[in-house]
């Protein structure tokens, strides 16, 4: 168990945490607490969350620069798979604020000195692998359905995508496969990172607990996944700028959700 004063403790033998059943009221409360946490220190959290939209803009720029526009949507959509990993600094801030400690933005990087950093990185590598697998699947689906020339213009690509039968098949199949990747990533990470940061459990224990949380609360977790997706979409609309607010709010809310789900 983590020391109450936040001092470093060593990884111990993994003990399977107990999972609670929650309701939609818990989701509302978690979001409200996340918003209240954001309002308490918005400048600090914006600084940390700025990394996420900047990385998204860079990805979009790369697709245009290297003429791989067909991967733009899969890149931006799949980038959400890495969201839980990108928010680890926010979880650490939430943990410190909960314990009444200094929670300025610089403490977001304290997680890098955690004895569980290896497990955090392992889980991050797992999510990155899912992200890359999704990109590979998206590219194969695109090649199988449209297979346009490498130098296709943006206008021709959009025209083929939205005005042809093969284009609509690509959209339907691509979104269906993407949904499966999203469900898998969500299931293994919904409370895994906060659990590792809080209790320093190993990565397999955190993943099993996260999956158990989804299995124990399938309907509520489905609502949470829809809420997260909806907020991320809203945050992406103004050229990803909205993520500067959405990311810290969701990061805090995820921490509070973890506290409600894991005993």
| Calpha distance 94→145 (Å, rounded) | 45
| Calpha distance 204→59 (Å, rounded) | 30
Q: Is residue 80 part of a domain?
A: yes
Q: Is residue 194 part of a domain?
A: yes
Q: What is the pLDDT of residue 125?
A: 95
Q: Is residue 18 part of a domain?
A: no
Please list the ranges in the chain whose pLDDT falls under 50: 1-13, 43
Q: Is residue 210 part of a domain?
A: yes
| Calpha distance 197→49 (Å, rounded) | 18
Q: Is residue 68 part of a domain?
A: yes
CA quadruple 240, 39, 190, 1: dihedral sign: positive
| Calpha distance 228→224 (Å, rounded) | 6
Q: What is the pLDDT of residue 205?
A: 95
CA dist list (Å): 234 to 41, 128, 225, 238: 22, 24, 14, 8
Q: Is residue 10 part of a domain?
A: no
Token pair of 109, please? 């990087």
Question: Residue 185 sits in which domain range?
Answer: 24-261
Q: What is the pLDDT of residue 13?
A: 46
Task: State the total domains in the chain.
Answer: 1
Q: Is residue 165 part of a domain?
A: yes
Residue with tokens 């959509």: 77
Q: What is the pLDDT of residue 141?
A: 93
Average pLDDT, the chain: 82
Q: What is the pLDDT of residue 101?
A: 72
Q: What is the pLDDT of residue 1?
A: 39
Q: Is residue 11 part of a domain?
A: no
Kindly give, in sequence order, each residue whose CB lies less than 8 Å from that of residue 153, ignoring residues fewer than 6 positions away: none
Q: What is the pLDDT of residue 100?
A: 74
Q: Find the helix packing angle between 51-65 and 42-49, rounded to 10°.
A: 30
Dihedral of the CA atoms 207, 213, 214, 219 (nearest 10)? Answer: -170
| Calpha distance 210→261 (Å, rounded) | 9
């Amino acid at each position: 168990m983590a020391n109450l004063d936040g001092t470093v403790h060593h990884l111990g033998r993994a003990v399977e945490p107990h999972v609670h059943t929650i309701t939609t009221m818990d989701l509302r409360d978690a979001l409200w607490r996340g918003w209240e946490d954001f309002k308490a220190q918005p400048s600090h959290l914006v600084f940390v969350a700025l990394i996420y939209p900047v990385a998204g803009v860079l990805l979009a720029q790369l697709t245009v620069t290297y003429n791989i526009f067909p991967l733009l949507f899969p890149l931006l959509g799949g980038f959400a798979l890495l969201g839980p990993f990108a928010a680890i600094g926010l979880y650490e801030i939430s943990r410190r604020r909960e314990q009444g400690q200094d929670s300025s933005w610089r403490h977001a990087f304290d997680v890098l000195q955690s004895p569980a950093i290896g497990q955090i990185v392992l889980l991050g590598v797992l999510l990155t692998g899912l992200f890359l697998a999704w990109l590979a699947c998206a590219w194969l689906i695109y090649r199988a359905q449209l297979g346009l020339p490498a130098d296709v213009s943006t206008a021709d690509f959009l025209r083929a995508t939205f005005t042809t039968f093969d284009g609509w098949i690509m959209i339907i199949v691509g979104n269906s496969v993407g949904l499966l990747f999203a469900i898998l990533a969500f299931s293994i990470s919904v409370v895994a990172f906060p659990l590792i940061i809080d209790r320093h459990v190993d990565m397999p224990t955190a993943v099993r607990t996260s999956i158990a949380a989804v299995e124990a609360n399938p309907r509520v977790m489905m609502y949470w996944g829809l809420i997260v997706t909806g907020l991320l979409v809203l945050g992406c609309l103004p050229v990803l700028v909205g993520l500067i607010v959405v990311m810290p709010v969701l990061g805090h809310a995820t921490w509070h959700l973890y506290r409600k789900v894991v005993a």
